[in-house]
A and B are shown apart, each in its own frame.
Chain A
Amino acid sequence: MSRTDVLLRVDDLTVSYGNIRALKGISFDVRDGEIVTLIGANGAGKSSALRAVSGLIPFSGRILYGDRDLSRIPPDGIVRLGIAQVPEGRGIFGNLTVFENLRLATWQRKNKAEVAKDFERVFGLFPRLNERKDQMGGTLSGGEQQMLAVGRALMSRGQMMLLDEPSMGLAPVLVRDIFHTLAEINQAGTTILLVEQNAYMALHIASRGCVLETGSIVLSGTGRELLGNPRIKEAYLGG
């Protein structure tokens, strides 16, 4: 695949919860090697879009990963196709050790040598996780849990990574660290689809962004364009 190939194509995606339409037919694509971010306020439908791609909720429309249609594949199958996930609220297994948390992401993989290599990579990126290897996931601080969530996603070796609000509940310094790491991970070749409320940080590292408002994409462009857009400045960046 060359760098400009479309990796993920979302076409006319509609998600409903009962009578409420959370997404009203949005379309966007993510090219290989990019960071694409979906930004927007609470309830704009950002997480619904991500959950649809993960296979967690039913949807209408089309989601293609490469040339595979994701609509009938269960969540674990989607991960196996190469889409690693950082779930909303991190989804750390609190009563399992950091090591076990990381091991779980390799649940379906048989090649132990490769798994060991991935451990080294994650521990290299987050030395803190190595220090806390035998500690229960639930006893980690918020920032460490977020590192664990990202590290765990790396362990599943996806070509692409989906993140749902990695900045949630973190101090500004930690948010900067996490986004710095995401940029590094992207540099190393992982394509990223990022859902964020922290528009400033997200647009800063993103190649492209889409702004969601009440279930529709109202604006899209490169990260820099959106950062400079007066409407965005007013609504999401605090003037």
Chain B
Amino acid sequence: MNMTPIIQLNDLYKSYGSTPVLKGINLNVSPGQVVGYIGPNGAGKSTTIKILIGMLPDYAGEATVLGMDVKTNSLEIKRRIGYVPENAALYDTLTPMEYLQFIGQLYGLETGQIERKALDLLRLFQLNDYTNARMTTFSKGMRQKVLLISGLLHNPDVIFLDEPLSGLDANAVVLVKEIIRQLANSGKTVFYSSHIMDVVEKISDRIIIINQGQIIADGTFAELQHQRPESLEQLFAELTGSEGQTGVAEEFIHTLKN
């Protein structure tokens, strides 16, 4: 852990209007790590990622990625990172090939190179029959695959994934998990946000839990478990203050009966 950190956050504050979202995040990530970034809805996960990839420049505090300040060097950072957003936003009137061509060109890749790579990657995701079909008809899983490819096409050094497994079928989940693992093994850094606890538990080298804009736990799963020997799910519930879900469930059933 004595390498220069690839992601660094110092006292990061961010608010939308008058509602504070991030209240002082401090974080160092070394290269080659898979970081699982988890927290309940509205905890500030996506906001943190958006700041790191330079989409939200008006924050307070310090944020550097690959040793560069996010505020001043966002273009250079964007060139070397990959981002897969959570809400499956893509231009779905295009075909996967057209879309990937477009994204590739934004990174300044050669069209021939994009075409070759895209074809291979689409084939590996078993989308080769749909290369030239418009994505309006695609299922959520198929869109997610195209999104994943579009975020990784330019072979980035740091990869930000926001719920990368949503909509994927079981086989694709296994495949993507393995891809994430091997990306990290080849020295890339993966910053990974998700709600699916057992996936996070399995693939992360390090788990960071945030709640209401603050980091409340940080360490390897073993370290976190060391405090209380439970599953990540239970730990998460405990730390984010939503214990006693059994009681809530009972009340829920009770209300339905009325």
Co-assembled chains A and B: no
Q: Contact residues of B with A, CB < 8 Å? A: none
